[in-house]
Amino acid sequence: MWENVRRLLSADDPETGRLIRYVITLLLVLTLATATPATKPVLVWTALGGSLACWLGFVVLDRRAHRMALTLLAAGTVLAAVTVGPGDTEGVIFLFAELMLFAAHLTPPVWVILGVAAVDLALMAGGMALLGRTPASTAALAAVLVSALMFALHRRQYRQGSLDRARAVALDERARIARELHDVLAHSLGALRVQLEVADVLLTDKGDVQGAAERVRCSLRLATDGLIEARAAVAALREDVPPLPEALSTLADAHRRDHGAELAMRTAGVSRPVAPAVEVGLLRTAREALTNAARHAPGAPVSLTLAYTATMVTLTVRNPLGAPQAGPPGHGLTGMRERLALIGGTLDAGPDGDDWLVRAEVPG
């Protein structure tokens, strides 16, 4: 039971949630039950009873009919403001409690909140003036009410900004998930299509059943690897991935196995955990660089270096320069450059002497 209560309290809004409404309801009921108005008791009792009824209507209807519930809450503040003049502290308690929650609520526009507060202030000041209260006491109470209202509006704006930032983060995460899955599927299905096209040519044009069968087996491996990569991408987005050096080592082993090429990998500096976005970006860059190495310099040795500095993580992939690589980088590296830019990184790719060098650097 205590665990359920703790979970409810941790998930509840501390300013407008269920707990604060229960507390305010108890406070208003006790205030009304102990009220002893000396001036105009009929007016005070009637207005406070109506204000409490409006509050209870708001509590019941807020999750079902927001507009009606907020209208009742605004009416409750107006009825409470009427009792401030002839009453003692009862009307002040009702007015502050209901108006502060109305101002902290995220649904009504700010101009509506200010309008309701202006009506409340006018009724409060008018009632106090009619009953001969001193201007100093009226001004002091109005100043306290305005200060509390500004605080509630500030908290409302802060909470609204927090919600907007949370929505932006959620949208960015959705876009990142879509980008990761797109890259995995585009890479896997593109390679799979090439292998199947070659198998089709071997069967129909050359009658090479053995060669076609080998291509089909390669296609099966590619499909399996694509499924593994898709799962790895989802795991990376869920922050459930192996350390970056281990993930790159697995990628290097797959490259050696599939392309029969030597690949030397080393890690410089002290490895440390990095953000999932950084890890996914560097893994995708390494995969694209190794794919280009196998395409343009098949069978040639490749070196892969992962270096950690105080503030940066750098990935370097170097392989012999083939003739097709003399031109500008293809769309794959352009996509990687855009991906790394989203996480504050950079990517350089181009000839470096007799080699082709890909260098990605990301804060981490």
| Per-residue confidence (pLDDT) for residue 329, from 0 to 100 | 47
CA separation (Å) from 74 to 52, 91, 109?
12, 15, 13
CA dist 192 and 207 (Å) reads 21
CA dist 24 and 242 (Å) reads 50
| Per-residue confidence (pLDDT) for residue 328, from 0 to 100 | 46
Each domain of the chain, given as residue ranges in start order, spans 2-133, 243-364
CA dist 42 and 206 (Å) reads 104
Find residue 350's DSSP bridge partners. 357
Residue range 243-364 in CATH 3.20.110.20: no
Residue with tokens 């790159």: 248
CA dist 307 and 107 (Å) reads 50
Q: Which residues of the chain have pLDDT under 70?
A: 1-16, 87-88, 166, 169-170, 173-174, 176-177, 179-180, 183-184, 186-188, 225, 228-229, 231-241, 322-332
Q: How many CB atoms lie within 10 A of CB 159?
A: 15
CA dist 107 and 192 (Å) reads 52
Find residue 268's DSSP bridge partners. 307
| Per-residue confidence (pLDDT) for residue 327, from 0 to 100 | 45
- Inter-residue contact 145 to 96 (CB < 8 Å): yes
| Per-residue confidence (pLDDT) for residue 326, from 0 to 100 | 44
Residue with tokens 């410089």: 268
At residue 100's C-alpha, the angle toward residues 124 and 125, to 5°, is 10
